[in-house]
Structure formats: C-alpha cells, structure tokens
C-alpha cells in the first residue's frame, strides 16, 4: 500500500515538473502575448475590481461576524425560511450574494458554515444560487463604462439576479420547510469583528487579483499555441455559434473580464453578456473553491447549475429587454451617456488599496503571532 502511494506521488511529481517546464517554455515563446494580457488584467484589477469589490467583501464579513446578519434575518427571515427553506441568518448572505460580487456570497456561506449556523447541505444549496456578479461591476463598469449605456447594465443585472433567485427557489422545492423556532438566537458579537472582516476581505481581494492574472496568462498561452482557435472552430462547425460568438463563449467560460472584452470587441448579441455574467467563469470558480477547506457542494452539481444559471439569464434578459427597454429611458434620462472609466477608480487608487491590503495582512499576522506567544 505504501509502495502504491509512493509511486503515485512520484508520478504526480514528474507530471507536475513536466507541466511546469512546458508552461515555462510557452511563457518564453509567447512572452509578448502573456505580458500584454497580464498588463491589461493588472490595469483592470487596479481600476475596477479592487475599488468596487473590496468594500463589499469587507461589509459581507462584518455583517456575518458582527451579528448584523441576525438583525437583517429577523426582517427577511420569513421570506428566507419560506422561499429558500434556509435559516434566517442566511438572509444577509443571500442579499450580499446578489449585489456584492461573485466571492461575496461564497465568503458569507463559508463563514456561516464555519460558525455552524448552517449545515453542509444548506451551504451546498446556497452555492447553487449565491454566485452572482456585483451591482457595481455590472451597472457601473460594464453598463456605464464598457457599453456606455446604464440601462443595459441595469437590465443585465436584473436578468442575472432574477434568474439566480429563481434557481434558489427551484433547488429548494424538495426541501421541507423549516419550522420557526426560538432557539436561533443571535450569536455573540466578536470584539474583533471589524478587524477580522477587513482581514478576510484583504485575503479574498488579493486572491481574486492573483487568479485573474493567472487566467489572463493562461488565456494568452492557449491562444498563442492555437488551442483556443481550434476550440472555436469546433464550436463553429457544430452550427451553434458564429466564429465571433464561439470566441466570446470560450472567453467567458475561462474568465469573466476576458469574456467582457471579447464580447465588446467582437460586437456579439448582448445576451452573451447575460450568459457569461451568470456562469462566472473558471477563474471565479477557483476563487470560490479556495474559500472552503472542504467544498460542500458536488462539483458536477455546482457546474451544472452554473450552466443552467447562464441559460436562464439569457431567457430573462430577452424578456426584460423587450418589456423594460421602451419604458426605463424615461426614468434614466442619462443612460445613453457613457460614464468615464475613472468612476470605477484609478490605477493609483487601486494600487494603494492593494498595498494597504498587503500591509494590513502583515501587521495583523504579526499581532496574532505576538498574542499567541
């Protein structure tokens, strides 16, 4: 038995070493493409992702760890218990999962599971519908800055959010309704709730930036060796997509921001934005996996619901586009005016926040080490 384990470890080691050598060689051969992709992703992280996502990540952690989620749960607890068949403390996490950005909901789920407020089955079910793009990303960045149309941003946001809530209802139909009990008391408020929430937001934000940069480099490599083009041709030959649509779909499957760029450059139908935003991309999925010591949801089920969410978002988007487009411009007279990209933040501001995150992590870790000793 020990020999089999040692041989397996040795084989995995050789495979890892071989893959590392191949990737290093590819990075050298396609250094220009990789550098350009990473440089563009760094700019995106500093100008949009970090300024818009970090506050929501910190607020999510603070709401869950400070006991505020229990207060919000008392207001929305009935809806959460009846519709989603979940404890009332999940209300705040579901809300933040709808407006705070992809990892915000998953971060809240991980905290609830760690505290014992929910069990593994409930955490698994929440992960099927609490993975959504943030309000700031979809409306301000995508709608206002990229598309130059706030109305499109709002319609995309509502399409992804409504389809997500529909999924939440769908996966809860077979679950018995929870009885309202008086034993669900508010947890004790931690004195370090604010510090812990900022610490968690720093780690999650830096992790997200790292994953985005890694996937940007990976996308550049598969395009450089021609694999991306081969996959596009395969999808095109199936007759489901045009060449531009196939490239957009593959880009969204890998990483959301790359998909947004491809969809914008190739000028595909806006419904592809709805699918890509709802699916989330493998880059986001890896970030979500990293938040859990043991992922509570089966992988096949998680990915199946990601695709289902994307398809449902396309259908809801088509309905909202036809019903809301003729009426909402009256309420949003400035929707057609492009918003300057500076509203999402500047690279200097984003860099400052990243450096502050790193400094905060270093100082808090040293403080914890001193306290433990």
Segment among 100-109, 297-306, 311-320, 329-338 with least mean pLDDT: 329-338
Segment among 201-215, 231-245, 341-355 with least mean pLDDT: 341-355
Phi–psi pair at 143, nearest 5 degrees = -70, -50
Q: In this predicted structure, what is the pLDDT of residue 180?
A: 58
Q: Which residues contact 239 (CB under 8 A, 6 or more apart)?
A: none
Higher confidence at residue 345 or residue 273? 273
Tokens of 136: 């700031």
Domain boundaries, the chain: 33-177+191-372
Integer Cα distance of 180 and 12 in angstroms: 50
Q: Which residues contact 369 (CB under 8 A, 6 or more apart)?
A: none
Q: In this predicted structure, what is the pLDDT of residue 341?
A: 38
The alpha carbon of 189 is separated from its chain's Cα centroid by a whole number of angstroms, namely 28
- 3-state class percentages of the chain: helix first, strand second, coil last, to nearest 5: 80, 0, 20
pLDDT more than 90, % of the chain:
26
Do 165 and 129 touch, CB atoms closer than 8 A?
yes
pLDDT at residue 182 is higher than 70 = no
Across the range 133-146, mean pLDDT stands at: 81
Q: Helices (DSSP H) in the chain: which residue ranges?
A: 2-29, 31-44, 50-66, 68-83, 91-99, 102-115, 120-126, 135, 150-170, 193-224, 227-237, 243-254, 256-266, 271-279, 281-289, 299-324, 328-331, 347-372
Residue whose tokens read 């991309």:
281
Burial 16-30 (b: 16+ CB within 10 A, else e): eeeeeeeeeebbeeb
Q: In this predicted structure, what is the pLDDT of residue 194?
A: 73
Tokens of 81: 């218990």
The alpha carbon of 187 is separated from its chain's Cα centroid by a whole number of angstroms, namely 28
pLDDT at residue 330 is higher than 60 = no
Dihedral angle of Cα 80, 81, 87, 90, to the nearest 10 degrees: 0
For residue 257, how many other CB atoms are within 10 A of its CB?
Answer: 26
Burial 198-210 (b: 16+ CB within 10 A, else e): bbbbbbbbbebbe
Q: In this predicted structure, what is the pLDDT of residue 211?
A: 82
Integer Cα distance of 85 and 106 in angstroms: 18
Q: In this predicted structure, what is the pLDDT of residue 337?
A: 42
**Confidence band (pLDDT; 50, 70, 90) for 59?**
confident
- Nearest Cα neighbor of 41 from 202, 203, 209 is 209
pLDDT tens per residue, range 290-304: 888 899 999 999 999
For residue 129, how many other CB atoms are within 10 A of its CB?
Answer: 25
Integer Cα distance of 122 and 229 in angstroms: 40
Do 138 and 277 touch, CB atoms closer than 8 A?
yes
Length of the chain: 373
């Amino acid at each position: 038995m020990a020999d089999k384990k040692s041989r397996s470890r040795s084989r995995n080691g050789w495979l890892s070493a071989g893959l590392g050598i191949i990737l290093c060689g590819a990075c050298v051969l396609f250094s220009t493409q990789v550098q350009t992709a990473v440089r563009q992703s760094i700019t995106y992280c500093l100008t949009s992702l970090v300024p818009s996502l970090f506050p929501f990540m910190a607020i999510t952690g603070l709401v869950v760890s400070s006991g505020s989620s229990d207060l919000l749960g008392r207001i929305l607890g009935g809806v959460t218990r009846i519709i989603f068949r979940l404890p009332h403390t999940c209300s705040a996490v579901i809300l933040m999962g709808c407006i705070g950005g992809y990892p915000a909901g998953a971060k809240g789920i991980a905290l609830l599971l760690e505290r014992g407020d929910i069990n593994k089955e409930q955490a698994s079910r929440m992960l099927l519908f609490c993975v959504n793009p943030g309000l700031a990303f979809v409306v301000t960045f995508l709608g206002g800055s990229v598309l130059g149309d706030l109305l499109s941003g709002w319609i995309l946001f509502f399409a992804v959010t409504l389809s997500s809530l529909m999924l939440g209802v769908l996966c809860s139909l077979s679950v018995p309704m929870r009885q309202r009990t008086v034993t669900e008391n508010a947890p004790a408020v931690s004195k370090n709730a604010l510090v812990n929430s900022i610490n968690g937001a720093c780690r999650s934000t830096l992790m997200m930036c790292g994953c985005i940069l890694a996937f940007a480099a990976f996308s550049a490599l598969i395009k450089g060796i021609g694999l991306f083009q081969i996959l596009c041709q395969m999808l095109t030959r199936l007759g489901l997509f045009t060449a531009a649509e196939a490239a957009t779909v593959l880009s969204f499957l890998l990483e959301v921001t790359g998909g947004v760029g491809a969809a914008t450059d190739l000028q595909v139908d806006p419904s592809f934005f709805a699918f890509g935003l709802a699916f989330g991309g493998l880059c986001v999925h890896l970030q979500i996996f990293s938040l859990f010591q043991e992922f509570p949801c089966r992988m096949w089920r998680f990915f199946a619901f990601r695709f289902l969410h994307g398809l449902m978002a396309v259908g809801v988007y088509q309905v909202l586009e036809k019903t809301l487009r003729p009426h909402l411009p009256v309420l949003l007279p400035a929707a057609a005016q492009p918003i300057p990209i500076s509203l999402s933040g500047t690279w200097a501001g984003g860099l400052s926040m990243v450096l502050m995150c790193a400094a905060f992590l270093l100082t808090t870790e040293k403080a914890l080490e001193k306290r433990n000793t």
